[in-house]
């Protein structure tokens, strides 16, 4: 075997080569990372915006897949009108559906940013705002977005403030409520059951279903991380612990460590042992099939799922309106309801390095104008809708012809939301839920609180894991106190203490 | 001749180095230039100040990472699951390749080859869903069979005793056929004369496998084993995330799934880079050790 | 060929075992196909197994009607063809010198390359390099930054190492250059291995989507996998509450049809490369 003479020398040379490579890498890197462009002023002396080019980036939206022919987000009849009416040369881009926060990071880090951007997720928004990524909006709002006051209350805007400064405008959500107790009407009729109105009645109903039909009385899907809380929220709400926090003696406390939560778990444990709750609820990813085939009689489900289930039953030869929501039953102390859902989780921001901040604010204001709002809510008059007696009339076909129009929304309105739901046939299900009592979550109105917001996912995951074990009997409920101290030691105590500093001074 | 030897190797082998040049340029520009990013693990990263401009915080992220209550649990799970997959999963493609090679009917062989590599292309979301349905205590076919023997149904997916084996088995099922392809290619490279010689000596098929096939693909096996050992911290993020649930977090939560589940990854580049670095350093260390051992045992190794 | 009884039994067993194995692997695929051709109601009720219920082609119509599907399909084919060709070229060129035992520094270069399998700068610095090399929003951003896989390089190098020295030496005595030796000896001798690695690259390009999410904002350049991921990936329960404007939940049948559309084209590659799976080509030429 031949070897190169002078192995020692080679090693030394190799080392210096590594060094050289590193140096080259660092130099190239340093050249690449220096990027501090700031846009010149695009505003005339009177405050009129002269830079008419605005680049927008929004979150992924299923509407993107629904364009027909050669239309796309930057080329269609509504876009053309938006461009014409506003006078802005607008260009839309979208974030990917997955890994959106990574894409946001690379865009902000590169300095090559859009003028207006959607940031999904409250904690991402506040983390980035803390790092100075966004332009403070108070002045821009005052100068360019007079229409904002008609949309948001002071309380709603305050929830987006960091140390008193507004960095983002919430993307308003029109949906008020998400989940409710859905029942299989056929099963109820067959057994002659009345809708349960109290906890005891609910227990009896479940018991009857189990004994007389031997199907799963109550099912739930709690396999995916984060899904446990919603899967039983109307039941925990009967004990007043359906929300993340409860108010006690003028202070907030985590619901999950209250004695009432223990009682809730005891009840669930009892129901589980008696076979009233799906023995597979912890592994279920989806319970639609069980509701469709009537192997389960009740479940806590989202309003869109209710319609999907109903349609599927009809599609298989059953009758429509086979499932319906019941009013949430009332607990021993008169508590009931479902958690309120309407708060924004996305924010519209203007990045610090944006080239046309004024234009972005001005365009945002333009979208709030009544004429524009009608355009993106219903489309073009006499083409996508007609006006009769001063009221907009739009057929479902007309609405479904332009399902992508909400792409241009920076916030959702009740008018639009109801119109869209009506056109798709979801409204009957959603309206049933709307009548339910909604429990307000105070912390949703809080500004960013570090110890609380950064820990909440970890804490609620910990609670979900242990709650499932308590219910299934894998952890004994006599250990509830130990669970409470573990929870507090994990940062629960600190989180709620800091939250209360805001709450008590409010 | 002597003068020729004295010349710098760069000149003597200039054409060989030229062949290497495009690859090295690629490695430097797209791999080494961005590598300064690992210092994020030691910095309080601020997206506006950039990687260079952010302030140093030393080992704070690592301290934070190691301080998590669940950290020992997730590291232990990562290693256990990964080693289970290594021990029971690594030989499977080799066995399949050997079995395929023994088939006499060429057309049947092709069909089997094509079929066994299909699952690789079906994502874990789909495969996980199928596995969950198959093993369901109420409606799954496996439990129907168990019940027909008069036994109680088994809660496979929520039973810590079973869950890791399900991970290993389903991973094996999905990837073994795909993994066999490279071994098949190696087997095809074997000189036919070696088999002829063995046959002349009266060797049975089994002896031929043992004395010809396996020795000839040994270097491929070693290389793949080394690379697998280096990746010991990749225990299958997507698979576990799709298949697990709260009942089995204790035995199945690995570093990646835990970081994801509790939302540590969200905009926390320092912490995630630190976690990545921790995995890389140990993985790299293991590879160096394994490579050294392979060379001691007379193998070529990777480097 | 004389076979003992045991060997014949082994053949039967082998055929039976591999048939069962193949069956278990093809069934999920058939299951997806059946779902894609069924009515939504039966799929949601989990009543579709291996034969469609309520047969309809509407989900395929939905997927294929989308004009973006064709843009993305073309992009992915381009990636798989051009990307694989470039990757193979650069990898073979690098693997040959690195497989030579008597050439200095090869071990050092291997270390340099293997390090990149473990340590990377992370997405932000990589994004900046991709931007500075002018690749953003171009299909090349999905090829050039991933041009060579160290894993594949190591495998090819390993195959080159097993080529008998005798062949190379006789060519060198004939005065052949290194490049010529690579082209006329090493490449032809490693055809099954090279075909396999080419398939690894093609599959890698076909299946990649993360880089597309980072580097491509213009939908025109989106590869198929990224498009289909948008159609397939589920809104988690957390996202449902987060939905800012109402989104339609993608139907299960459309999901199944999308998966098929993404998988079938690349599945066709393997039967194609099997043509190159011929036992020991030219190896008869080796004497000694």
pLDDT one digit per residue (tens) for chain B, 303 residues: 444 555 787 888 889 999 999 999 999 999 999 999 999 999 999 999 999 999 999 999 999 889 888 899 999 999 999 999 999 999 999 999 999 998 888 889 989 999 999 999 998 988 999 999 999 998 899 999 999 999 999 999 999 999 999 999 999 999 999 999 999 999 988 888 888 899 898 888 888 999 999 999 999 999 999 999 999 888 999 999 999 999 999 999 999 898 888 777 677 888 889 999 999 999 999 999 999 999 999 888 888
A307 plus A454 within the same structural domain: yes
Contact A59, A94 (CB under 8 A): yes
Residues of A in contact with C245 (CB under 8 A): 61, 63, 406-407, 409, 412
Asked whether residue A186 is domain-assigned, the answer is yes
Opening angle at CA B36, ends B30 and B41, nearest 5: 125
CB-based burial of residue A431 (10 Å sphere; 0-12 exposed, 13-18 middle, 19+ buried)? middle
Give CA–CA dist C284/C188, Å, rounded. 13
Torsion of CA A117, A426, A430, A419, to 10 degrees: 60
Domain count, chain C: 2
Whether C4 is in a domain gets the answer: no
* A169 located within any domain: yes
C273 with C138, same domain: the answer is yes
Q: Would you call C75 helix, strand, or coil by DSSP? A: helix
Whether A110 sits inside 8 A of C131 (CB atoms) is: yes
Question: In A, which residues are within 8 Å of B50 by CB distance?
Answer: 33, 109
Nearest Cα residue in chain B from A351? B48
**Residue-level pLDDT at C254:** 87
Name the more confident of A227 and C91. Answer: C91
Domains in chain B and their CATH numbers? 1-58 (no CATH), 69-296 (1.10.3720.10)
Q: What is the pLDDT of residue C211?
A: 94
A168 and A91: one domain?
A: yes
| Residue A241 shares a structural domain with residue A322 | yes
Q: Residues A190, A330: one domain?
A: yes
Give me the CATH number covering residue A333. Answer: 3.40.190.10
Residue A423 maps to a domain: no
Note whether C121 and B35 are within 8 A (CB).
yes
What per-residue confidence (pLDDT) applies to A263? Answer: 96
Residue A25 lies in a domain: no
CA–CA distance, A212 with A182 (Å, rounded to integer): 20
If asked whether residues A199 and A309 sit together in one domain, one would say yes
User: Alpha helix locations (H) across A258-331?
Assistant: 259-273, 288-292, 303-315
Task: Quote the DSSP letter at residue A215.
Answer: S
- A368 and A463 assigned to the same domain: no
Terminal Cα-to-Cα distance of chain C (whole angstroms): 26
* C93 and C199 together in one domain: yes
H-helix or E-strand spanning residue A300: strand A296-302
- Residues in B touching C107 (Cβ below 8 Å): 303
Query: Buried (b) or exposed (e) across C237-250, using 16+ Cβ within 10 A?
Result: bbbbbbbbbbbeeb
Residue A316 located in a structural domain = yes
Residue C241 has pLDDT above 80, yes or no: no
User: What is the pLDDT at residue C283?
Assistant: 45
B220 Cβ contact partners less than 8 Å away, ≥ 6 residues apart: B182, B183, B186, C155, C158, C159
Which residue in C has a C-alpha nearest to residue A118's C-alpha? C244
CB contact under 8 A, B267 and A123: yes
| Residue B249 sits at the chain A interface (C-beta within 8 Å) | yes
Same domain as C135, residue C213: yes
Chains that touch C (3 or more CB pairs under 8 A): A, B
Q: Are B180 and B100 in contact (CB under 8 A)?
A: yes
Query: Is residue A46, in this structure, part of any structural domain at all?
Result: no
Residues 6+ apart with CB under 8 A from A383: none
pLDDT given for residue A5 in this prediction: 41
Residues of C whose CB is below 8 A from A60: 230
Q: Determine the structural domain holding residue A270 and report its residue range.
A: 179-339+441-504
Which residue in A133, A221, A228, A280 has the most chain B C-beta atoms within 10 A of its own C-beta, making it the best mutation to test that interface?
A280
**Residue C114 shares a structural domain with residue C224:** yes
Nearest CB to A25 within list B28, B47, B129:
B28
Contacts of C11 in chain B (CB under 8 A): 102, 104
Q: Across the interface, do C131 and A112 touch by the CB < 8 Å criterion?
A: yes
Residues C110 and C202 occupy one common structural domain: yes
Higher-pLDDT residue of C205 and A27 is C205
Burial class of residue C9 in the structure, from the number of CB atoms within 10 Å of its CB (0-12 exposed, 13-18 middle, 19+ buried): exposed
Look at chain A and report how many structural domains it folds into.
Answer: 2
By DSSP bridging, strand A438-439 and strand A338-339 are parallel
Q: Which residues, given as ranges, of chain A have pLDDT below 50?
A: 1-12, 14-15, 30-39
Same-domain pairing of A378 and A478:
no
Q: Is A413 on the interface with C (CB under 8 A)?
A: no
Q: In terms of domains, do A184 and A158 share one?
A: no
pLDDT of residue C240: 38
By Cβ distance, the residue of A24, A105, A490 closest to B267 is: A105
Has residue A7 been placed in a domain?
A: no
Q: Using CA atoms, how far apart are residues C164 and A407, in angstroms rounded to an integer?
A: 63
> Tokens for B65?
């990472």
Residue A6 is predicted with a pLDDT of 40
Do A123 and A238 lie in one domain? The reply is no
Residue C42, pLDDT > 90, answer yes
Please check whether residue C144 lies inside any domain of the structure: yes
Residues C103 and C214 grouped into a single domain: yes
Residue A221, burial from CB neighbour count under 10 angstroms (0-12, 13-18, 19+): buried
d(CA C187, CA A162): 63
Looking at the domain assignment, is residue C2 inside a domain? Answer: no
Q: Based on the number of CB atoms within 10 Å of its own CB, is C279 exposed (0-12), middle (13-18) or buried (19 or more)?
A: middle
How far, in Å, CA of C123 to CA of C214, rounded? 8
Chain C residue with the nearest C-alpha to that of B282? C118
Cα torsion at B198, B202, B205, B211 (round to 10°)? -40
For residue B172, what is the enclosing H or E element?
Answer: helix B160-188
- Based on the domain organization, do C193 and C258 belong to the same domain? yes
CATH number at residue C276: 1.10.3720.10
A162 and A278 both lie in a single domain: no
- Type and span of the H or E element at A439: strand A438-439
- B267–A280 CB contact, under 8 Å: no
Q: Are C181 and C273 in the same domain?
A: yes
Write out the residue range of the structural domain in which residue C34 sits: 9-56
CB contact under 8 A, A29 and B34: yes
Domain boundary among C56, C73, C89: C56
- Exposure of A112 in the CB half-sphere (CA atoms within 13 A): 14
Say which residues have a Cβ less than 8 Å from residue A188's Cβ, sequence separation at least 6: A195, A297
- Rounded to an integer, what distance in angstroms lies between the CA atom of residue A42 and that of residue A355? 8
Cα of first residue to Cα of last residue in chain A, in angstroms, is 82
How far is the alpha carbon of A44 from chain C, nearest alpha carbon, in Å?
A: 32
Statement to judge: residues C187 and C268 lie in one domain:
yes
Given the structure tokens 């993307």, which residue do they identify? Answer: A171
d(CA C79, CA A161): 45
Q: Which residue among C124, C240, C244 sits closest to A105, beta carbon to beta carbon?
A: C124
Cβ pair B51:A228 closer than 8 A = no
Antiparallel, parallel or unpaired: β A53-58 and A116-120? parallel
- pLDDT at residue number C286: 43
The answer to whether residue A254 is domain-embedded is yes
Tell me the three state secondary structure of residue C198.
Answer: helix
Provide CB contacts within 8 A for C67, sequence distance 6+: A67, A69, A70
ipTM of model over 0.90: yes
Q: What's the CA gap between A312 and C186, in Å, rounded?
A: 60
List CB contacts (< 8 A) between C280 and chain B. Answer: 188-192
Query: Is residue C37 located within the same domain as residue C73?
Result: no
A196 contacts A205 by C-beta, under 8 angstroms: yes
Q: Do A392 and A307 reside in the same domain of the chain?
A: no
Residues C49 and C146 both lie in one domain: no
A312 shares contact with chain C (CB less than 8 Å): yes
Give the Å distances, CA to CA, from B213 to A107, B187, B195: 52, 7, 9
Q: Do B33 and A32 touch (CB under 8 A)?
A: yes
Partner-chain residue, chosen from A127, A282, A295, that has the shortest CB–CB distance to B267: A127
Are C178 and C50 contained in the same domain?
A: no
């Amino acid at each position: 075997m031949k070897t190169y003479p002078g192995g020692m020398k080679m090693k030394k040379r190799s080392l210096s080569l590594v060094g050289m490579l590193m140096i080259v890498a660092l130099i190239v890197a340093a050249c690449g990372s220096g990027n501090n462009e700031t846009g010149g002023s695009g505003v005339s002396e009177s405050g009129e915006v002269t830079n008419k080019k605005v680049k927008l980036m929004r979150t992924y939206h299923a509407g993107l897949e629904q364009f027909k022919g050669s239309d796309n987000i930057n080329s269609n009849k509504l876009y053309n009108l938006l461009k014409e009416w506003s006078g802005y040369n607008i260009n839309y881009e979208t974030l990917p559906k997955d890994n959106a926060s990574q894409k946001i990071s690379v865009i902000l880090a590169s300095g090559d940013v859009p003028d207006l951007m959607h940031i999904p997720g409250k904690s991402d928004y506040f983390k980035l705002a803390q790092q100075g990524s966004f332009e403070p909006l108070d002045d821009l709002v005052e100068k360019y977005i007079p229409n904002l006051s008609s949309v948001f209350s002071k309380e709603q805007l305050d929830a987006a403030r960091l140390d008193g400064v507004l960095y983002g405008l919430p993307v308003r959500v029109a949906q008020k409520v998400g989940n409710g107790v859905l029942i299989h009407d056929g099963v109820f009729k067959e057994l002659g059951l009345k809708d349960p109105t109290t906890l005891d009645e609910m227990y009896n109903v479940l018991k009857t279903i189990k004994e007389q039909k031997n199907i799963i009385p109550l099912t739930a899907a709690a396999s995916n991380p984060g899904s446990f809380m919603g899967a039983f929220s109307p039941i925990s709400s009967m004990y007043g612990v359906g929300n993340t926090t409860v108010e006690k003696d003028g202070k907030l406390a985590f619901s999950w460590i209250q004695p009432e939560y223990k009682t809730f778990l005891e009840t669930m444990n009892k129901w589980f042992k008696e076979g009233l709750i799906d023995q597979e609820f912890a592994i279920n990813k989806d319970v639609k099939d069980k509701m469709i085939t009537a192997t389960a009689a009740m479940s806590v489900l989202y309003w869109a799922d209710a319609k999907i289930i109903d349609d599927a039953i009809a599609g298989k030869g059953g009758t429509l309106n086979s499932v319906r929501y019941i009013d949430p039953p009332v607990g021993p102390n008169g508590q009931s309801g479902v958690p309120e859902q309407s708060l924004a989780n996305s924010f519209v921001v203007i990045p610090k390095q944006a080239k046309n901040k004024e234009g972005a604010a001005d365009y945002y204001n333009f979208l709030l104008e009544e004429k524009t709002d009608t355009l993106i809510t219903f489309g073009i008059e006499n083409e996508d809708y007609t006006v009769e007696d001063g009221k907009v009339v739009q057929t479902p076909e007309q609405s479904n012809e332009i399902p992508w129009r909400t792409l241009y929304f920076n916030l959702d309105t009740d008018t639009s939301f109801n119109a869209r739901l009506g056109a798709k046939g979801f409204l009957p299900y959603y309206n049933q839920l709307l009548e339910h009592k909604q429990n307000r979550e105070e912390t949703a109105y809080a500004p960013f609180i570090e110890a609380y917001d950064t820990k909440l996912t970890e804490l609620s995951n910990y609670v979900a894991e242990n709650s499932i074990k308590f219910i299934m009997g894998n952890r004994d409920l006599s250990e509830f106190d130990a669970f409470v101290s573990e929870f507090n030691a994990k940062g629960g105590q600190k989180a709620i203490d800091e939250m209360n500093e805001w709450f008590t001074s409010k | 001749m002597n003068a020729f030897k004295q010349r710098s190797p760069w000149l003597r082998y200039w054409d060989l180095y030229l062949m290497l040049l495009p690859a090295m340029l690629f490695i430097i520009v797209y791999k080494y230039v961005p590598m300064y990013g690992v210092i994020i693990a030691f910095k309080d990263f601020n997206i506006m100040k950039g990687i260079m401009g952010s302030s140093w915080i030393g080992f704070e992220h690592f301290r934070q990472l190691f301080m998590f209550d669940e950290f020992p649990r997730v590291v232990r799970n990562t290693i256990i699951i990964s080693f289970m997959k290594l021990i029971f999963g690594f030989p499977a493609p080799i066995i399949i390749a050997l079995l395929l090679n023994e088939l006499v009917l060429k057309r049947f062989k092709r069909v089997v080859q094509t079929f066994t590599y299909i699952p690789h292309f079906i994502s874990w979301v789909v495969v996980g869903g199928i596995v969950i349905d198959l093993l369901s205590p109420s409606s799954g076919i496996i439990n129907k069979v168990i019940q027909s023997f008069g036994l109680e149904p088994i809660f496979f997916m929520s039973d810590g005793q079973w869950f890791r084996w399900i991970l290993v088995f389903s991973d094996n099922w999905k990837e073994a056929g795909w993994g066999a392809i490279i071994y098949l290619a190696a087997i095809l490279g074997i000189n036919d004369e070696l088999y002829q010689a063995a046959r002349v000596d009266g060797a049975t098929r089994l002896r031929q496998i043992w004395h010809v096939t396996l020795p000839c693909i040994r270097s491929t096996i070693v290389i793949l084993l080394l690379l697998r050992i280096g990746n010991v911290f990749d225990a299958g993020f997507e698979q576990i995330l799709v298949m697990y649930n709260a009942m089995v977090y204790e035995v199945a939560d690995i570093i990646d799934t835990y970081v994801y589940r509790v939302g540590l990854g969200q905009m926390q580049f320092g912490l995630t880079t630190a976690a990545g670095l921790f995995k890389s350093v140990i993985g790299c260390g293991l590879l160096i050790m394994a490579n050294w051992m392979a060379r001691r045992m007379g193998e070529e190794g990777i480097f | 060929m004389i076979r003992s009884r045991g060997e014949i039994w082994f053949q039967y067993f082998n055929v039976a075992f591999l048939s069962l194995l193949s069956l278990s692997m093809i069934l999920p695929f058939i299951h997806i196909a059946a779902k894609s051709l069924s009515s939504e109601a039966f799929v949601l009720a989990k009543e579709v197994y291996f034969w469609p219920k309520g047969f309809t082609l509407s989900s395929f119509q939905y997927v294929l009607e989308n004009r973006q599907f064709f843009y993305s399909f073309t992009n992915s084919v381009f990636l798989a063809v051009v990307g694989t060709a470039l990757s193979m070229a650069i990898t073979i060129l690098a693997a040959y010198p690195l497989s030579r035992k008597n050439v200095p520094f090869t071990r050092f270069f291997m270390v340099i390359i293997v390090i990149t399998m473990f340590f990377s700068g992370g997405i932000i610095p990589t994004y900046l390099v991709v931007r500075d090399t002018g690749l953003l929003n171009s299909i090349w951003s999905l090829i050039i930054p991933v041009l060579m896989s160290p894993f594949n390089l190591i495998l090819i190098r390993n195959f080159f190492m097993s080529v008998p020295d005798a062949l190379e030496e006789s060519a060198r005595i004939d005065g052949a250059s290194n490049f010529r030796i690579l082209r006329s000896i090493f490449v032809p001798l490693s055809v099954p291995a090279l075909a396999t690695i080419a398939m690894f690259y093609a599959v890698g390009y076909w299946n990649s989507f993360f880089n597309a999410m980072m580097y491509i904002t213009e939908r025109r350049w989106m590869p198929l996998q990224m498009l289909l991921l948008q159609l397939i990936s589920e809104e988690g329960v957390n996202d449902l509450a987060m939905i800012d404007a109402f989104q339609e939940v993608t139907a299960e049948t459309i999901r199944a049809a999308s998966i098929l559309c993404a998988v079938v084209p690349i599945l066709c590659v393997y039967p194609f490369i099997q043509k190159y799976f011929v036992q020991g080509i030219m190896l008869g030429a080796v004497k000694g």
